[in-house]
Structure 1
Amino acid sequence: MEIQYILELIGTFVFAISGALAVDEKDQDWFGAGFTGFVTAIGGGTLRDILLGSYPLVWIADVQFLYAIFAGILFASVFYKWLLRLRRTLSLFDTLGIALFTIVGTEKALSLGVDPVIAAIMGMFTAVMGGVIRDTLTNETPVIFQKEVYASPCLAWAFVYIGLANLEVHRTFAFLLSVLLIIVIRLVAVKYNLSLPKFKRIK
């Protein structure tokens, strides 16, 4: 089983958890939590595949992704209080999701023969768009529009991953290194409230 496939399943699982936990203050029922978890998990990958013209969509072509989503939603319910505490501490599941999906999305785009710059953007889209949809559904300002280091490390390390591939670094090592560093950058940024400079008009 390829590392890309394993990481995409894990990313789907943790994003489903993130989506299901996002409704904790919205008094949602099982269906509401499940639906939010579902669209959070598939949103980024679906957008990527549509933009790249890759059909059938990954979660339609392989039922294992649906099983990963169902497992994530069930896991979120069983370990609800413990998981919510972790989520509030360092946005753990969102961080895991964006790290895994960034590299998976980049690799998927590269495998379809697109330009490396487009591949890096597709990696970022795969990572962040599920969270944008989740936050929109729960009537929250999407994290990507808040003063947080969120999408930028995804885009940066997508380019780093492409560079490592061009240098013929072992594929599995490049995958895992890139994922780990995105996680570290994101967690440090959350912990110390780091942000990019504010956009200002050039005078």
Structure 2
Amino acid sequence: MFETLAAALNWFGIVVFAVTGALVASRKQMDIVGFVLLGVVTGIGGGTVRDLLLGRAPVFWIGQPEYLAVCAAVAAVVFFTAHIPESRYRLLLWFDALGLAVFAVTGAETAFLAGAGVAGAIAMGMITATFGGIIRDILGGESPVILSREIYVTAALVAACLYVALAAAGVAREVALCAGFAAGFGLRGAALTWNWTLPRYRPRPGR
């Protein structure tokens, strides 16, 4: 039962990130090829980097090309529907928050089960959650959200850390995954709602 739920959660993350890639393409007024390109690289980019760093061959979408097909199909749908939401950027941020939380925990779980250790699993969770968005923003000519003032990587870190801590403590898989997701999405959502930011460096006179 939960295996089905975990698979559904992973697919949900793929679809959500593909939507964010396509929404960036809509903001840049690209053609449908641009929509598909950004949708695909955003949906599978983080997982690809994770698998390469873990030495997993082939990467997940080579053996399961349906990931490519779904990302492309989702992006094509957004090409015809992106005009519907009143604020595409706000929608982009909330969809991105969902994908961030999903991939932080599923990426950490993949690495943890592969024997990456606690630190490695946390790092892989953060990479899976953020690198798709980084690639999307670079290709789309956007300022990478990872460099924004808002809490972003920190939310992925919290989600991955909580999942790994609970999994290492022997907590049931479904509890660990759901708790990590809730923590990551809750923190990112709070940052979007109340404009939370971390303290920033401010230049000071030298001695």
Equivalent in 67, 70, 73 of residue 72 of structure 2: 70
Are the counterparts in 1 of residues 32 and 79 from structure 2 also a CA contact under 8 Å?
Answer: no
- State the TM-score, normalized to the length of structure 2: 0.89
Spell out, residue by residue over 1:142-189, the C-alpha distance to the aligned partner (whole angstroms, 9 max, x if none): 011111100112112211111111232221122122112211211110
Q: Could you list the runs of 4 or more consecutive aligned residues of structure 1 that deviate by over 4 angstroms after TM superposition?
A: 200-203
Cα–Cα, structure 1 residues 13 and 90, in superposed 2: closer, same or farther, change >3 Å? closer
Distance 2:101 2:89 in 1: 15
Go from structure 1 to structure 2 and tell me whether the alpha carbon gap of 1:154 and 1:84 turns closer, same or farther (over 3 Å shift): farther
Residues 10 and 68 of structure 1 are in contact (CA less than 8 Å); yes or no, is this contact kept in structure 2? no
Taking structure 1 as the reference length, the TM-score comes to: 0.91
Corresponding residue for residue 99 of structure 2: 97
Residue of structure 2 equivalent to 1:49: 51
Q: Structure 1 residues 111, 201: CA separation in 2 closer, same or farther (over 3 Å shift)?
A: farther
**Alignment partner, residue 90 of structure 2:** 88
Match of 1:166 among 165, 168, 180: 168
> Structure 1 residue 104: deviation in Å?
0.7
Q: CA deviation at 1:56?
A: 0.8
Q: Distance in 2 between matches of 1:19 and 1:86?
A: 12
Q: Cα distance, 1:102 vs. partner?
A: 0.5
Q: Assess, with a 3 A threshold, how the Cα gap between structure 1 residues 2 and 113 changes in structure 2: closer, same or farther.
A: farther
Unaligned runs of 5+ in 1: none
Give the alignment of 1:23-38 within 5 angstroms. 23-38=25-40
For 1:73, the aligned partner's letter is A
Counterpart for residue 187 of structure 1: 189
- Given candidates 58, 61, 79, the residue that maps to 2:60 is 58
Aligned length: 203
Of all paired residues, the percent bearing the same amino acid is: 35
- Tell me, yes or no, if the aligned pair for 1:47 and 1:125 is still in contact at 8 Å: yes
Gaps of 5+ in 2: none
Say yes or no: does 1:149 pair with 2:151.
Answer: yes
- Does structure 2 retain, via aligned residues, the 8 Å contact 1:46–1:58? yes
